[in-house]
Amino acid sequence: MQDALAQEIGLILEDNVVLTAEDIDLCMITGAGWPMHIGGITPYLDRVGAAQRVNGKAFHRAS
């Protein structure tokens, strides 16, 4: 499931449906009830390695 989410978000960003991963995070938090304390779906997918596995890169640069 994590890989499928990372793949779909990668496609959404690649096709310029939304401009940034943060836009997706905001929509998931306010519209789908994603837990705000986790920090958004894209940082979560970065932490679990799904973004790297599927897209070859993280959605966010490491701090």
Host domain of residue 29:
2-55
Note whether residue 10 is domain-resident: yes
The pTM of the full predicted model, rounded to 2 decimals, is 0.90
Note whether residue 11 is domain-resident: yes
End-to-end CA distance of the chain: 26
- Residues 27-37 pLDDT 10s: 999 999 999 99
Note whether residue 42 is domain-resident: yes
Note whether residue 37 is domain-resident: yes
Q: Which of residues 8 and 39 earns the better pLDDT score?
A: 8
- Residue 63: is its pLDDT beyond 70? no
Query: What pLDDT shows up at residue 39?
Result: 85
Note whether residue 20 is domain-resident: yes
Distance CA 37, CA 62 (A): 19
- Residue 23: is its pLDDT beyond 80? yes
Tokens (6 digits) for 16? 């310029």
Distance CA 13, CA 35 (A): 22
